[in-house]
C-alpha cells in the first residue's frame, strides 16, 4: 500500500528499514488554479533533477475549468528525491493542494 510522503505523516511513523538510497515510485496528485503557465511549472521540479515523469496527466475538464488537476508519477527515485519534488510542487504559486504517495 502506498505511504503518504508528507513530513507530518512521517514524524509519527517508525523509521523504515532498508537503505536511504532504496528506490521508490512516487505519485503526486496536484490541484491548482488553471492558467496557461501552470503546466510547465509543475514539470520543472522533475526537469531540474534530470527526471522525466513516468506519467503526466494534466486536465481542467472538471467543473467550470477554474481548477487544474495533475497526476505526476516518477519511478525508481530515492525517498529524498521524492521529498524534494513534493516540497517544490507545494512552493509553486497557484498550487492549492499536493497529495504525495510513495510505494
pLDDT at 10: 46
At residue 17, the 3 state secondary structure works out as coil
Task: Indicate the pTM of the whole model.
Answer: 0.78
pLDDT 10s digits, 15-28: 344 455 799 999 99
Q: Which of 14-18, 27-31, 76-80 has the lowest mean pLDDT?
A: 14-18
Q: Would you kindly state where each structural domain of the chain is located, as residue ranges? A: 1-7+24-56+74-92
pLDDT at 99: 98
CB proximity list for 66: less than 8 A, separation 6 or greater? 33, 34, 60
Indicate if the pLDDT at residue 102 is higher than 50: yes
Closest C-alpha to 34, from 57, 11, 65, 7: 65
Indicate if the pLDDT at residue 96 is higher than 50: yes
Average pLDDT, the chain: 86
Amino acid at each position: 500500500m502506498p505511504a503518504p510522503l508528507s513530513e507530518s505523516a512521517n514524524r509519527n511513523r517508525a523509521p523504515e528499514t532498508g537503505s536511504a538510497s532504496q528506490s521508490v515510485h512516487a505519485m503526486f496528485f496536484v490541484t491548482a488554479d488553471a492558467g496557461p503557465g501552470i503546466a510547465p511549472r509543475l514539470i520543472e521540479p522533475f526537469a531540474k533533477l534530470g527526471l522525466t515523469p513516468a506519467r503526466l496527466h494534466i486536465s481542467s475538464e472538471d467543473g467550470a475549468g477554474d481548477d487544474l488537476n495533475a497526476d505526476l508519477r516518477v519511478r525508481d527515485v530515492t525517498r529524498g528525491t521524492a521529498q524534494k519534488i513534493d516540497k517544490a510542487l507545494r512552493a509553486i504559486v497557484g498550487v492549492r493542494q499536493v497529495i504525495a504517495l510513495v510505494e
